Amino acid sequence: MATSASDLLESRILLYYCFTPIEDPIAVMLWQRTLCEQLGLTGRIIVSKHGINGTVGGKLGSCKQYTRKTREYPGFARMSFKWSEGGAKDFPKLSVKARDEIVAFGSPDEIKVDANGIVGGGTHLKPEAVNKLVEERGDEVVFFDGRNAMEAEIGKFKNAIVPDVNTTHDFIAELESGKYDDLKDKPVVTYCTGGIRCEILSSLMKNRGFKEVYQIDGGIVRYGEKFGDQGLWEGSLYVFDKRMHMEFSNDSKQLGHCIHCEAPTNLFHNCINEECRKQQLMCDDCASNPATAHCGRAECAEVGAQMAASSL
C-alpha cells in the first residue's frame, strides 16, 4: 500500500481486543512491543493466554500498518479495530505486558476461549436488537452494569442494576452474594464501555446460574453511536482518558451530582489528598476550593482544611 500525505500528517488512536487462545503470551508480547516500537506507536497492550487488549496511538500510516501486521497472527485475523481521534501524544509511553488476564476479574482459570472467542458467554446483541428485546419483553428485561459503580454515577441504561464494585475483581463475590438471584430466570443485558468486560462478566454469570444473559456488541460506545440520547441510554459515558467523560449529543441527561453541594456535574476530580487521589464527582466551585476538594473521608477533609488554611 502506498503512503499518502495524510498517513504522515494525521494521527489516530486504535482500540481493540480479541479473545483467542495464545500458546505463548510472552512471545506475542515481545513481538507486539517490537512492532509498536518500530512504528512509533505508544499506548497500552495486555496479552494473556486468552487474547489481547490494546489502545495505541500514532501516525495514521503507522496505525494502518499496525492493524495489517497484527492481523497476520492467525488468532488475530478476525480482530476488529475501533479508530478514534487522537494520537501518540495521548499516551505518555508504550507499555506492553503479559498477564494472567486481559481484564482482571480474578478468574484466569475459569475463562475458556477457542478460535471463536470466549466459550459460553452471553449472546451478543447489536444495538437495534437490544431495543427489540425490550420492545418484546418489556420490564422483564434487566440491564446489568458491567463497569465499576463509580462510572454509572454519570450515566447508565434506564433502570439498570449497578453492582457494588470498585474494580472488576469484585464481580465474582458480588454475583455469589445472592443479591441478584432473582435475576437468574430473567433476560439480563450486560453492558460496559466497549464490550470487553461483558465478554467475561456474561460468561461468569452463566456459569453461576443466570440462564438468559446477553451482552451489547461494541458496548455503550456502539449503542450511543447508533441511538445517541434517543434510546435506552441515559447520561454521560465515563472514559479512561483525560476527557473523563463524553456525551452522545447535546440532549444528554445530567445524572451526576457534586458530593459536597449536590450541584449537577459529570466531572470527576481526584481527592486533594495526594495519598488518596480517589475520584469523586465535584462541581467546579467545590473542586477549586482546597477546603472542599476532598473525597469526603475525614482524613482527607482534614488535609483539605490544612491546605485551605495555609493558602490564606
Residue 23 vs 262, nearer CB to Zn ion: 262
Asked if 276 touches Zn ion (CB under 5 A), the answer is yes
Q: Which stretch binds Zn ion (CB under 5 A): 119-127, 194-202, 223-231, 299-307?
A: 299-307
Residue 213 vs 301, nearer CB to Zn ion: 301
Q: Which stretch binds Zn ion (CB under 5 A): 8-16, 63-71, 160-168, 264-272?
A: 264-272
Asked if 259 touches Zn ion (CB under 5 A), the answer is no
> Distance of CA 266 to CAs 10, 73, 134, 244, 304, Å?
31, 41, 27, 9, 22
Nearest CA among 189, 184, 172 for reference residue 104: 172
Can you tell me which of 133, 271, 281, 301 binds Zn ion, judged by CB under 5 A? 271
18 is catalytic: no
Site string for Zn ion, 214-253 (x = CB under 5 A): ----------------------------------------
With contacts defined by CB under 5 A, how many residues of the chain interact with Zn ion? 13
Asked if 273 touches Zn ion (CB under 5 A), the answer is yes
CB 56 within 8 A of CB 14: yes
Question: Please, what is the angle between helix 60-71 and helix 25-39, to 10°?
Answer: 150
Ramachandran class of 40: left when φ > 0, alpha when ψ lies in -120 to 50, beta otherwise: left
Residue matched to cell numbers 456459569: 207
Task: Report which secondary-structure segment, H or E, holds 262.
Answer: none
Could you list the residues that contact Zn ion (CB under 5 A)? 258, 260-261, 263, 271, 273, 276, 278, 283, 286, 295, 297, 300
